[in-house]
Amino acid sequence: MSEPRTLAPPERRVAVVSGVERLGAYHLVTAHDASGPQYPRPGQFYMLAAEACWGGGGDERPYLPRAFSFARAHVEPEGVSLGFLLEAIGPGTRQLAELTSDDGLAIVGPLGIGFRPPPEGARPLLVGGGIGVAPLLCLQEELDDSTVLLGFRSAAHAQAAALFTGEPQVVTDDGSVGRQALVTELLAAELDAEPGAAVHACGPPPMLEAVRALCAERGVAAQLALESGMACGFGACFGCVVPTKDGYVRLCLDGPVLDAGLLETALFAGAGHS
């Protein structure tokens, strides 16, 4: 696959945390990256670790850095301000959520292949589920005009919708914000209402599989930002392989954004890491 990608400098560097904002169920970690590329592609990701105390002690996880899509990249006089939206679900994400201003954030990236721009004249539909809304924030900033469809578990998670401009359509599992519905119901309605859509989606595997199937049935082009367990992030460990119609690919190199047409399914067995 020969997609354009922004290449990462070939080493780990340390960005400086400028703030950590609590947004309902999520945290927005912002850091100043003085020496990395200023224009990562939406959908690319960074491997992150707190500079200090990652692991904390002999047998304490996390040992490995963790993969995160960037949600924002704003050029600054010297470097770039990177924003990462994260959900604290385990030792790595909890430690990142506890960072404070001026802490060091060890980063490698940007890595992988992000979203390609929609074809000329197509109507971009951005479809996000839960923490998967993160890479759609910078994609919305890049596109002149797009329709944003978001699904969350609850009102606390749906607070992330406020980061989008305009009026994203929001549904929740419990009906606490918007209708009680799945985001794929919004997608089906949009696809059936008007032709010419180009879908860009990120979210949990069952959501992505439903997006893939809906688009396949209607012959609509879709790009899916997928996840698998990533130990290195740059092609060395083969921990992130996923099956495609062209054989297995390393998601960190050939993804994480793949054309939906390459997949029989977006449901992969989840892989953990240390």
Ligand X SMILES: Cc1cc2nc3c(=O)[nH]c(=O)nc-3n(C[C@H](O)[C@H](O)[C@H](O)COP(=O)(O)OP(=O)(O)OC[C@H]3O[C@@H](n4cnc5c(N)ncnc54)[C@H](O)[C@@H]3O)c2cc1C
Residues that bind ligand FES (CB under 6 A): 230-233, 235-240, 250, 252
To ligand FES, the closest distance from the beta carbon of 52 in angstroms equals 24
Minimal CB distance to ligand X: which residue?
Answer: 90
Contact of 149 with 187, CB cutoff 8 Å: yes
Residue (of 92, 154, 127, 149) closest to 224 by Cα position: 127
User: Do you know the residue count of the chain?
Assistant: 274
Buried b (16+ CB within 10 A) or exposed e, 96-106: bbebeeebbbb
Which CB sits closer to ligand X, 66 or 200? 66
150 binds ligand X (CB under 6 A): no
To ligand X, the closest distance from the beta carbon of 96 in angstroms equals 8
68 binds ligand X (CB under 6 A): yes
Could you give phi then psi for residue 149, rounded to 5 degrees?
A: -120, 125
Q: Binds 108, which of ligand FES, ligand X, none (CB < 5 to 8 A, cut-off by type)? A: none
* Cα-to-chain-centroid distance, residue 98: 20
Lay out the site mask for ligand X across 196-225 (x = CB under 6 A, - = otherwise): ------------------------------
Contact of 213 with 225, CB cutoff 8 Å: no
Cα–Cα distances in angstroms (integers) from residue 89 to residues 43, 95, 134, 224, 240, in the given order: 21, 10, 16, 23, 20
Q: Binds 33, which of ligand X, ligand FES, none (CB < 5 to 8 A, cut-off by type)? A: none
Interface with ligand X by CB under 6 A: which residues? 45, 62, 66-69, 84-87, 89-93, 131, 134, 227-230, 256, 270, 272-273
